Amino acid sequence: MMNLSVLIHSLGLESIYLNQKPFNAMKRFYLLWFAIGSLAISQAQIKPEKKIETKGQYIYCIAYNHDGSFIASSGDKKEVIIHKTGTYEEVAHLKGLKDIPLSVCFSNNGKLIAAGGKDNKITVWDIASQQVRYMIKAHDAQVMDLAFSPDDKTLASTSLDKEIKLWDAQTGQLVSSFTGNKKEVTSLDFSPDGSRLVSGHADGTIKIWEVKKASLYLNIPGHKGWVFSVAFSPDGSLIASGGEDKQIHLWDAYSGEKLNTFLGHRKWVQGVAFSPDGNYLLSGSHDNHLILTHIKTGKMVFQSEKQPNYILSIGFNPKGTSFAAAALYSDILEIWDAKSLNIKVLEKQEAQKAMASTGMAPSIEWLNPKTGGSITNPSLKVTAKITSESSLRTIDLLVNGKVFATKDRSELMLESAEKTSFTYEENIILSEGNNAIQLKARNIAGESMSQPLDITFSSTPVVLLTWTAPLMPASQTNLPTYSIRATINPQKTAQKVDLMVNNQWVASQNFTAEGGIISKQITLKEGENRVSFKVATNEFTKESETRTITYAVAGKPTIVFLQPQKDTSCFISGIRFKASVQSQIPIDFIELKVNGLTVYSKNQLPDNHFTIDQHLQLTPGQNNITITARNQAGEVTSPTRMIAYQLPEKTNISWVSPSSDIEIFEPFVDLRACIQSKSEVLKIELYSNDALVATENQPQKNGTGECTIDFAKKIPLSSGTNKVKISATNAGGITQSEVRQINYILPQAAVVQWQNPTAFQVATSENFLNISVSITSNTQLESIDLLLNGQVVASTPFPKPLTGSSTYSYQQKAPLNKGSNVIMLKTKNRAGEVMSTPIIAEYKASNPYRFALIIGNEDYSSYQTGLNSESNVDFAKKDAQDFKQLCIGTLNVQEENIIYLEDARYTEMMKSLKKISGILSVTQGKAEVFVFYAGHGFPDEKTKEPYLVPVDGSGTDLDITGVKLTYFYEMLTSFPAQRITVFLDACFSGGARNQGLVAARGVKVIPKETPEAVKKNLVVFTASSGNQTSLPYKEKQHGLFTYFLVHKLTETKGDITYEELSNYLKEQVSIKSVMVNSKQQDPQTNVSPEVEAIWQQWKFSE
């Protein structure tokens, strides 16, 4: 791994970073206490395993081999030492380096080891023989990092000469260079499949390169300052980076999107390394700590005790059982036991082979339907097979170009780096007309789109053709030939039409999409001839209705089937059967048979024409029906008419609308369902909360009873939940649909909650007031009116009402008249109109030479390792917000003249002070400044000097991270001003409203008095005295001091003298502190000697 000591030597920073004085005992105690929360947990899980001595060689870099069986280290003696893990015995001692190495790495096959460093060279050894294979002058400056590609064909190097180079790993020949970098390149890593390379740069960027093209894939502006370490996750989906700004960032390796930031370290991050399963990130820093972070949650699961010096190099054992670290000026290689993490490891070589062989986007195969077509049912279930050679990330189902359904990575639950076949299923509700259906699947390698399925949904059946001869379903002739004629209707694509006679192909004709006329003459056989057409397009193949033509030889009887006219199936056990028998001479005998058994016969018929009309009882399965007729010319037997009796099935009921349980704000709802039945539907019933609300008897009938019914009803709703279901009855029995729960919500009046201003009485120096409210309505919001002194000044109608239960954010600029203004909102929804609570806004012209600096530091725990929420300053932000409103409304400060900070860091506080000082400089004595600070104060434990503490400031490093109070005053009084008024709601004993930065740990320090710092025309109001604590007023959600300060100035509209305010605060805060907090808190007023005789009569309104 890369070592940054070169930066210290090359930039001459030894005096700053290498020779710092050790912390005194008190600071060591404080730092230990800071980390105690995390150490209590981590020490029980992670513990030191072994300290390996390297015989006096200060270690600069370390590396594990591919399977974790060996670990290498190198340092200032210019030797590479290899130890066997487990026993940690030395197994190899490699020599030949010309200067101190900064990086060392094993080849993945374990045969080679490479090192590079201050000699600008790369040295590669054969491990078996322990001899140098080759040494090359690689760069014009120090080599910072090395890495072998997963296939061991390439060795990559980075350097301070701003270049990245790729070398043939076996011969040392240059393959390619990545040039054009603006700053030094500090670190690199190959992706697990070897296709990409990530690099870290001194300009704060992270770059991702495509190795084969030797081209830049992504440039990510990642850090402020140098990037010291980068690493790919084991599955190649993530990149971690650490840098000079003390931060660790986690990036999406494909899009470059920042996924998370880890802030555990206090100084620059030297190295980052993923655990072999990709669940943890190890980091080492110049704050002398190792930290182990859980990737998904961002939680710190381990923080080491402070090491003897800066962490220079780290490594995670590929077995997942341990990790290693080396510190500056140390000849000890520290091994840590990580078995308690239970890391399950995919062997690195197997993972790399899998990654290398699976760089393909997913493939998609439609299973059902396999091709497009036309259907008459709006509900369609699609199924597809998706094959991916790596983890599927997302699957999107698109209908007509819009995403209909999505499955993300958490739903797919697929294993990484394994070839996976996934069956995708989804139900779609189709729109009338054409529906283009596609699947889009994405894995690590990229994304794929399926072939589109064009499904046409029509609620009316497709009409193929129109018969013109014969017109009737059944006809007869005495001629042996017949001319067949039909009109082929237009379709979407070209058509092929086959003419079929008695299920045998006779002729074909092709048509364009526009259709046409088909006319064919056919030869008939004696008796019944069944004629039909088969029409085939790109979307479907369907058969037309059948025409029956009976050819009767003169003299013999003629038999024509009337009902049914063709072979059919039914779902009822009895059927009406009709046939016509005609003869030119009297009929002697007629016989009707079913499955060979005579069910009807008649002799000596009275005339030459007879109609058989019988109710036939069918048996389950096939029923073969024949008729025999005889006269003196002879006997004729009809063709067999086949009727299949299928046992009845129940109906199938599919909800169309609503498709799921819904909430509704109307007292009625439109219901729609699709009812399919293979037998006649006898009755449909609709129930709501088990009460019958609608009935339809025999809603639809056809010859066989098979039907599809579009059932639609509008029903009234009861308040609350309405459980709606449909019952359909056919010969197979009763079917009940799924229950749809429709929650009818009675409209309620809208609720208006003021967000700005938060107080119901405000003062401002502007002729307008920016208002912001949250309006919650459980039904459609129709209009919002803004009223000023009873008159509408702004109206917001909603021509398309906001639907459903929702919260609407409303912002408006309200104009103000001089003096007092009453502002109200009137909202209207289905429940009617409602008026908000009024806001009283006092408009008073502002003073262009009044300025304010306001700081509210509340959240310290989010910025400092080891602090819990009890170390925060409750209500500090609200104190700052209300003081800002006081400045605008009462103290006549223009809003643009206010510098406002919440949770201010050190740099922000220092910049704001310099800004105020600059304003005082250019206004040449005309300016008046109000300063308000709520947050932690703390004295230096050695000098007792009081400091204001930024949220990123440490109670143990005040001289570096705190703002000294005397400096604070000095910046405010460095130039002439009308007057400077400071309000400090902070104490300087280490205590605070909950617990202090150090006082929370049982320590308090009496601060040094600094009256000499209050000079010129400066007046300071402080919340407490000496070693007292500045306490909260929890009932009012304020600091106790700030509450009474803001209350009094607002109540008097600033018409109060400084002395009157001082006396009021001392009396009220002192009394209330004892009553509410059972502790003493006595505010102080410190006055410059220059204004000691006049400050009492100053007024805030002047």
Q: What is the CATH number for 764?
A: 2.60.40.10
Domains in the chain: how many in total? 5
Residues 6+ apart with CB under 8 A from 606: none
Reply yes or no on whether the pLDDT at 529 is more than 90.
yes
My answer on whether 716 and 764 are in the same domain is no
| Domain CATH for 916 | 3.40.50.1460
My answer on whether 106 and 238 are in the same domain is yes
Percent of all residues in the chain with a pLDDT value above 90, rounded to a whole number = 52
Domain boundary among 354, 385, 414: 354
Predicted local confidence at residue 800, as pLDDT = 52
My answer on whether 234 and 347 are in the same domain is yes
Strand intervals (E) in 444-526: 446-449, 453-457, 465-469, 474-477, 481-488, 495-501, 504-511, 516-523
My answer on whether 895 and 990 are in the same domain is yes
Which of 47-51, 255-259, 570-574, 954-958 ranks highest by mean pLDDT? Answer: 47-51
Predicted local confidence at residue 23, as pLDDT = 34
Reply yes or no on whether the pLDDT at 538 is more than 90.
no
Predicted local confidence at residue 415, as pLDDT = 39
Predicted local confidence at residue 9, as pLDDT = 35
3-state SS track over 794-824? EEEEEEEEECCCEEEEEEEEEECCCEEEEEE
Q: What is the pLDDT of residues 298-353, one digit of tens each?
A: 888 999 999 989 999 999 999 999 999 999 989 999 999 999 998 887 544 444 44
Question: What's the pLDDT band for 1046 if we cut at 50, 70, 90?
Answer: very high
User: Are the CB atoms for 511 and 498 separated by under 8 Å?
Assistant: no
Residue 289's nearest CA partner among 307, 270, 264, 314 is 307
More reliable by pLDDT, 1027 or 676: 676
Predicted local confidence at residue 351, as pLDDT = 46
What tokens does 1056 get? 């109060």
Reply yes or no on whether the pLDDT at 792 is more than 70.
yes
Pairing mode, strands 761-764 and 839-843: parallel
Which single residue is written with the structure tokens 């077509």? Answer: 373
My answer on whether 193 and 330 are in the same domain is yes
| Domain CATH for 144 | 2.130.10.10
Task: State how far the Cα of 349 lies from the Cα of 150, in Å rounded to an integer.
Answer: 8
Q: What is the pLDDT of residues 856-912, one digit of tens each?
A: 999 988 777 666 666 789 999 999 999 999 998 889 898 999 999 999 988 889 899
Predicted local confidence at residue 347, as pLDDT = 47
User: Are the CB atoms for 352 and 192 separated by under 8 Å?
Assistant: yes
Q: Is residue 537 part of a domain?
A: no
Predicted local confidence at residue 250, as pLDDT = 94
What tokens does 567 get? 């072979």
Q: Each residue of 160-189: b (16+ CB within 10 Å) or e?
A: bbbbbbbbebbebeebeebeebeebbbbbb
My answer on whether 981 and 1075 are in the same domain is yes
Q: What is the pLDDT of residues 951-969, one digit of tens each?
A: 888 777 787 788 999 999 9
Task: State how far the Cα of 1078 lies from the Cα of 799, in Å rounded to an integer.
Answer: 58
Phi-psi region of 367 (alpha: psi -120 to 50; beta: other; left: phi over 0): alpha
Domain boundary among 843, 878, 894: 843
My answer on whether 946 and 982 are in the same domain is yes
Mean pLDDT score, 617-643? 90
Reply yes or no on whether the pLDDT at 288 is more than 90.
yes
Q: Is residue 574 part of a domain?
A: no
Q: How many residues comprise the chain?
A: 1102
Q: What is the pLDDT of residues 733-762, one digit of tens each?
A: 888 889 999 998 888 888 999 999 988 888
Mean pLDDT score, 499-514? 91
- Secondary structure letter of residue 679 according to DSSP: S
My answer on whether 74 and 215 are in the same domain is yes
Residue 612's nearest CA partner among 592, 642, 583, 586 is 592
My answer on whether 117 and 196 are in the same domain is yes
Task: State how far the Cα of 302 lies from the Cα of 279, in Å rounded to an integer.
Answer: 14
Range of the domain at 837: 751-843
Q: What is the pLDDT of residues 437-481, one digit of tens each?
A: 999 988 777 788 999 998 888 766 666 788 999 988 888 887 788
Tell me which amino acid residue 113 is.
I
Mean pLDDT score, 138-148? 96
pTM: 0.40
CB-side neighbour CA atoms (13 Å) of 362: 30
My answer on whether 864 and 835 are in the same domain is no
Q: Is residue 950 part of a domain?
A: yes
Mean pLDDT score, 267-289? 95
Predicted local confidence at residue 940, as pLDDT = 78
Q: Is residue 533 part of a domain?
A: no
Reply yes or no on whether the pLDDT at 605 is more than 90.
no
Task: Please report, to the nearest 10 degrees, the dihedral formed by the alpha carbons of residues 1067, 1068, 1073, 1076 taken in order.
Answer: 140
What tokens does 198 get? 């990530």
Mean pLDDT score, 407-424? 59
My answer on whether 684 and 773 are in the same domain is no
Mean pLDDT score, 264-288? 94
CA distances from 519 to 523, 532, 547, 675, 1025 (A): 14, 13, 15, 40, 112
Which of 227-241, 394-408, 931-945, 1087-1101 ranks highest by mean pLDDT? Answer: 227-241
User: Are the CB atoms for 1007 and 1044 separated by under 8 Å?
Assistant: no
Angle at 947 between CA 941 and CA 952, to 5 degrees: 100
Predicted local confidence at residue 1009, as pLDDT = 59
Question: What's the pLDDT band for 409 if we cut at 50, 70, 90?
Answer: low
My answer on whether 364 and 330 are in the same domain is no
Task: State how far the Cα of 962 lies from the Cα of 951, in Å rounded to an integer.
Answer: 9
Reply yes or no on whether the pLDDT at 802 is more than 60.
no
Q: Is residue 934 part of a domain?
A: yes
More reliable by pLDDT, 391 or 559: 559
Phi, psi of 971 (to 5 degrees): -65, -35
Which of 1-5, 32-36, 115-119 ranks highest by mean pLDDT? Answer: 115-119
Residue 54's nearest CA partner among 70, 30, 29, 72 is 72
Question: What's the pLDDT band for 544 if we cut at 50, 70, 90?
Answer: confident
Task: State how far the Cα of 330 lies from the Cα of 313, in Å rounded to an integer.
Answer: 12
Q: Is residue 506 part of a domain?
A: no
Predicted local confidence at residue 865, as pLDDT = 62
Predicted local confidence at residue 1002, as pLDDT = 29
Predicted local confidence at residue 179, as pLDDT = 85
Percent of all residues in the chain with a pLDDT value above 70, rounded to a whole number = 88
Ranking 537-541, 582-586, 926-930, 1029-1033 by mean pLDDT, the lowest is: 537-541
More reliable by pLDDT, 479 or 625: 625
Predicted local confidence at residue 835, as pLDDT = 92
Report the mean per-residue pLDDT for the chain.
85
Tell me which amino acid residue 456 is.
T
Domain boundary among 331, 354, 377: 354
Phi, psi of 1066 (to 5 degrees): -60, -40
Predicted local confidence at residue 796, as pLDDT = 86
Question: What's the pLDDT band for 10 if we cut at 50, 70, 90?
Answer: very low
Q: What is the pLDDT of residues 986-1028, one digit of tens each?
A: 877 544 455 444 433 223 445 555 566 678 889 999 988 877 8
Q: Is residue 88 part of a domain?
A: yes
Q: Is residue 129 part of a domain?
A: yes
